[in-house]
Chain A
Amino acid sequence: MSRTVAAEDIGPDFAPRRRPDVASVEMDGEAVLYAGSAGMHKLDRVATVLWNCFDGSVTVRELVADLDDVYPDADRSRIEADVLACVRQLGRQGLLAGVAAAEPPEPMEAPGATDAPGAEGEDGASR
């Protein structure tokens, strides 16, 4: 039986996994994610690198260790805090498997009204 955890309860031993139904496209190192009810999201370059590692087999602790190796001059506790913050935020946004979303996200804005002509601006070619 799968367990759902709250984002705030995610700790160093958690192995984040991308929701399989999240569509993802990378543009110049920034990921654009779409997950239906979870809406549309953009990740910066660092978050995109982390996102690509979220296959459910690597824990937060292991990710932090890898980053610490890559950036030996950085403060390890700061790295851990930042990675945890990223994972928890993605969890709150409903993008991670097994993590409860915090609240319904804002729906993606439709390009126009669907009313027939009669009110100002309706042209038929609208969502």
Chain B
Amino acid sequence: MAATLPQVTQEAGTNTGREVTGAAAAYRTGSFRALGHEFMVVTSDAALSSYLEALFAPLASDRPAAHTYTLTERPGAGGSDWVLDFDGAEIGRGDPSRALALLLWDVNRSAVQRTRGLVLLHAAAAERDGAAVLLPGAMEVGKTTLVAGLVRAGLGYLTDELTAIDPATGRIRPYPKALSVDPGSYGPLADLEPTVPAAARRFLPDQWQVLPTAIRAGAVASTATPRLVVLPRYVAGQATELRPLSRADALIAVAGCAFTFDDDPAGTLAALGAVLRSCDCYELRSGSLDEAVRTVVDLLDRRLAMTGVTHP
């Protein structure tokens, strides 16, 4: 069954919904928080505004937005362009799908740039009973696909892209954005295909945006402590291979995925070392999502069993 994005109810008297500004109507979303990046989106398209309100719902914030993206259609060289502004300055333009893709890209980029005091990893993460599995790696290794499979299998969702660890506590602060699923993973995740209102479809990039709550109600986790590190590598046709890693080798790999490493190499290395000392570490190669999910769930359950926590 296809997963459906929730419909947005636009209420008068709030900071969402239709707002008349001069001669043009502008639709403004609520406030959202991508870790240290607080933003809202203003657009001239009602369907797009509703879609964005639903898409960013896992990041909804009570705080006023510090920054504003504006997505509007304007005259361009070939007729018209959709233009993305950030705090009044243009950051890109193109067809509707490119404009939305650029918005999603910039939200992630700004989350990295504006977040302070946390160790930021290019990693997906999921959890069970407060014990998290980190899935660090470069693009295209299968992080999002694997974390989608894990959430579908019952684990809590923390992020598919940017894992933020508080070095003071060792705990993960979630960034539960919609999972960005590439076409290559449509097959194994076919049941998660989102249903998008027809009026908003022209804005969709060639990628599914899957809400974690559409995978499973209550899937978003609040926090967790890393207990397992699995370096995933999807290889088509590969039989599933799990290889233990020394914590030193895992630290090198994870440090290579740290966005803030160059800002404070010694501090970041020390923080990651402290986190990994409590983790079992592996490298996982697989051509089967189901087998990869079973392998990771089994590892996590065994780790939890060591602490007296069991799952049926």
Contacts of B252 in A (CB 8 A): 32, 40, 42
Find B101's partner among A23, A25, A117, A121 (CB 8 Å cutoff). A117
Which listed segment binds A: B12-20, B75-83, B107-115, B298-306? B107-115
Interface residue? A127 (CB, 8 A):
yes
Summed over the interface, the residue pairs from A and B with CB atoms below 8 Å come to a total of 101
**B247 contacts A27, CB within 8 Å?**
yes
**B257 contacts A123, CB within 8 Å?**
no
**A125 contacts B248, CB within 8 Å?**
no
Number of A residues near B (Cβ < 8 Å) is 29
**A23 contacts B269, CB within 8 Å?**
yes
Q: Is the interface of B mostly helix, strand, loop or mixed?
A: helix
Interface residues of A in 96-127 (CB under 8 A from B): 108-113, 116-118, 121-127
A32, A36, A112, A125 — which one has the most chain B CB atoms within 10 A of its CB?
Answer: A125
Interface residue? A30 (CB, 8 A):
yes
CA distance A121 to B144 in the complex (A): 12
Interface residues of B in 191-207 (CB under 8 A from A): 205
**B138 contacts A124, CB within 8 Å?**
no
**A42 contacts B139, CB within 8 Å?**
no
Contacts of B98 in A (CB 8 A): 117-118
**A116 contacts B105, CB within 8 Å?**
yes
Interface residue? A14 (CB, 8 A):
no
CA distance A93 to B149 in the complex (A): 42
Tell me, rounded to whole Å, the shortest Cβ–Cβ distance linking B279 to chain A: 10
Nearest opposing residue in chain A for B106, CB measure = A124
Which listed segment binds A: B1-9, B41-49, B270-278? B270-278
Nearest opposing residue in chain B for A115, CB measure = B105
CA distance A123 to B140 in the complex (A): 11
B residues contacting A by CB (< 8 A) are: 92, 98, 101-102, 104-109, 111-112, 122, 136-140, 161-162, 180, 182, 205, 246-249, 251-252, 255-257, 259, 261, 265-266, 269-270, 272-273, 276-277
A residues contacting B by CB (< 8 A) are: 23-28, 30-32, 34, 36, 40, 42, 108-113, 116-118, 121-127
Given contacts A116-B105, A117-B102, 11 further A-B pairs with CB under 8 A are A25-B273, A27-B251, A34-B265, A34-B269, A109-B138, A111-B259, A112-B122, A112-B138, A124-B105, A124-B112, A125-B111
